[in-house]
Chains A and B, each alone.
Chain A
Amino acid sequence: MKSLAELAAIRDKMKAQVNIREENTENAIRVVVGMATCGIAAGARPVLNAFVEETAKRNLDNVMVTQTGCIGVCRLEPIVEITLPGEEKVTYVKMTPEKVAKVVADHIVNKKVVTEYTIGAAE
């Protein structure tokens, strides 16, 4: 360890990794992936992991990526619900790891809902 900068570099790298243990649930942006049998069969796990990777890459430390059981519209799985603090939740359907990058960039970072992926557009 030669300098404070070196120390700061380790801290920042680790911060992204240990951030998951902070309990800031009230102001966090919640990303909930449906992971019941239907969701898993439709490929929800790669979607979940893509969200984890993408938010970490962008150092988004107020995003909580978590899972839930069956959301109820199994034919539209993988389903992902995103809730910004104080706003209505937005439901994305038929998600893929490729779509995740766009949702994170547009919705989570720039607060613009990706309408074409939402349940409203699919129905």
Chain B
Amino acid sequence: MYRAHILVCGGTGCTSSGSPAIIDELNKELKAQGLEEEVKVVQTGCFGLCALGPIMIVYPEGAFYSRVELSDIPEIVSEHIVKGRIVERLLYSETVTEAGIKSLNETDFYKKQLRVALRNCGVINPENIDEYIGFGGYQALGKVLTEMTPQEVIDVIKESGLRGRGGGGFPTGLKWQFTANAESDQKYVACNADEGDPGAFMDRSVLEGDPHAVIEAMAIAGYAVGASQGYVYIRAEYPIAVQRLQIAIDQAREYGLLGKNIFEKGFDFDIEIRLGAGAFVCGEETALITSIEGNRGEPRPRPPFPAVKGLFGKPTLLNNVETYANITQIILNGPQWFANMGTEKSKGTKVFALGGKIKNTGLVEIPMGTTLREVIYDIGGGIPDGKKFKAAQTGGPSGGCIPADLIDIKIDYDNLLSIGSMMGSGGLIVMDEETCMVDIAKFFLEFTVEESCGKCTPCRVGTKRLLELLEKVTNGNGTLEDIDKMEALCHHIKSSSLCGLGQSAPNPVLSTLKYFRDEYVAHVVDKKCPAGVCKNLVQFKITDKCIGCTLCARNCPVNAISGEVKNMHTIDATKCIKCGVCMDKCKFKAIIKE
């Protein structure tokens, strides 16, 4: 029996900021003090506050230490563990109160969150099946196999109102019903873990922090639709998730929770991992299926839908990681419990990866219907350096932006669609006043051009031409006709592309055109970039505040600045590469960008 548990985040974020070394050091230090029998060090999945990593939490006190360094470990052990004196300087400042420390769940970051899909992330050791079982794991599978018929399972999922968390928002129960209804000697259950949006890491975190939740849900799905084999399609760029998922599958097999005759109820189910090479298009369901089959990952026209003709030509149920992560809780707590969370047409919660110009970058799970303002200001802690919020991008390269005047929108599937964005898989990128919206559209277009598989012309050629037009605008060579041309081209690409990648690729352009058309006009008419981002459209100038200290001239990497000591300097615009070093260095704010 251990008297204290030290939970250290082992998600990808904290791993890259050094948590494995911290775990080693903790174990070493505990051993040196003879405490290894009394205190247990547990590597968990993501806590969510990635901005403050490496993160650890010490129980029973629940002391939350952030930005822990190797050199802090001896102090944590000899003060906190040995003498019971919490190391206050390392506590997350929000948890420190005059009355002692307050629970993490009461801090602004966690208070408005509701963790369903992430319930075990940062709580259990994902590499230990016993801990998962200790927190109620595999109870849902047991209940389903012993008490429910496949149709009853499907009805529960339908009743809960759960919709696909991969982005489209298709009702999950219906998808299960279609697959169950299809007649075949063999069916498959597949999990889409090919998370490709730039800046999104929800599915990775679930697999890293709670892999058994996905395995259990896939087995339940297998029982419901009549499949005996499952595949998890995950990108090879997620090494920690792949490794933990494989460990979890092995442990589940060892316990007989995967394999033949589970719970002696005559139900067989097993899961295999298929690694993807990181092509964005493979997140599209038909391309993903083609890739699992061993072919080049290209989409094919639907119908037939995978529920009818999927993997190897057989009926296949394909859901996203986060969708599966909700299943066991719906089975255990009942569909009504789930349907009580969220809005009328979007039930439950949604996980978002917060990124960009926001204080608390990290992973959050909120009830549907939470406003964007709450996510950005209450949970996210607002925009750093007192800058102004300009827009947020949801849905990554397939989504659109939400401008500042729509910040009070309640986040759910239908609201986001109605303003020209989409839920997407959960990337949420925050932009401040220094972000150029044309440049952002260009960034996402560059991504889709790169990732277009090339099978259909509207996507392959259309996105390329669209990008060229955007480049023309950001280079200062655009015309008003180009803007109209872009808009028309966007609609052509949307209506004629084969798969979701092409159909949604113009969204970033369309939504920035809708809400920030004036910025496009400024680029083509005034030849100015209002945010000062597009290099061809900005000029650095030295004003008469200059006292001739020569600091800028000495730091200019291309010697574009000249002038005598104690006299005003000038910038040679033909030499200037617009790196902005002079502006950063100037102590008198004498250099301006216009």
Contact = CB atoms under 8 A, between A and B. Distances in A.
Nearest to B105: A23
Interface string B1-39: 111110100000000000000000000000000000010
Residue of A16, A18, A56, A68 with highest tally of chain B CB at under 10 A: A18
Interface string A39-68: 010000100110011001000000011111
Nearest to B134: A14
B139 interface: yes
Interface in A1-34: 1-4, 7, 10-11, 13-18, 20-21, 23, 25, 33-34
B135 interface: yes
B337 interface: no
A113 interface: no
B399 to A, nearest CB: 35
A51 to B, nearest CB: 8
A96 B139 CA distance: 41
Residue of A1, A37, A56 with highest tally of chain B CB at under 10 A: A1
Nearest to B145: A4
B294 interface: no
A49 B4 contact: no
A36 interface: yes
Contact of B256 (A1, A13, A23): A1
Residue of A13, A20, A35, A65 with highest tally of chain B CB at under 10 A: A20
A15 B134 contact: yes
A10 B5 contact: no
A4 B130 contact: no
Contacts of A20: 2, 4-5, 59-60
A69 B257 contact: no
Residue of A2, A23, A25, A68 with highest tally of chain B CB at under 10 A: A23
A80 to B, nearest CB: 12
B35 to A, nearest CB: 9
B5 A11 contact: no
Contacts of A23: 62, 103-105
Nearest to A11: B133
Interface in B28-76: 38, 59-62
Contact of B83 (A3, A49, A56, A67): A67
Interface in B127-150: 130-131, 133-139, 142, 146
Nearest to A19: B134
Contact of B1 (A25, A40, A53): A53
B108 to A, nearest CB: 17
B250 to A, nearest CB: 14
B264 interface: yes
B120 to A, nearest CB: 10
Given A21-B5, A66-B61, A69-B84, A1 B262 contact: yes
Interface in B498-525: none
A115 B136 CA distance: 40
Contacts of B392: none
Given A1-B262, A3-B263, A49-B38, A18 B3 contact: no
Given A10-B130, A18-B135, A21-B5, A4 B142 contact: yes
A37 B130 CA distance: 37
A33 B263 contact: no
A18 B255 contact: no
B84 A68 contact: yes
Contacts of B84: 33-36, 66-69
Interface in B254-275: 255-257, 262-264
A35 B263 contact: no
B60 A66 contact: yes
Interface string B89-126: 00000000000000111000000000000000001100
A114 B263 CA distance: 48
Given A20-B59, A65-B60, A66-B60, A48 B85 contact: no
Contact of A10 (B103, B123, B133): B133
Contacts of B38: 45, 49, 52
24 contacts: A1-B257, A4-B142, A4-B146, A7-B133, A7-B138, A7-B139, A11-B139, A14-B133, A17-B1, A18-B134, A20-B5, A21-B7, A21-B123, A23-B103, A23-B104, A34-B84, A35-B83, A49-B1, A65-B3, A66-B60, A66-B61, A66-B84, A68-B84, A69-B84
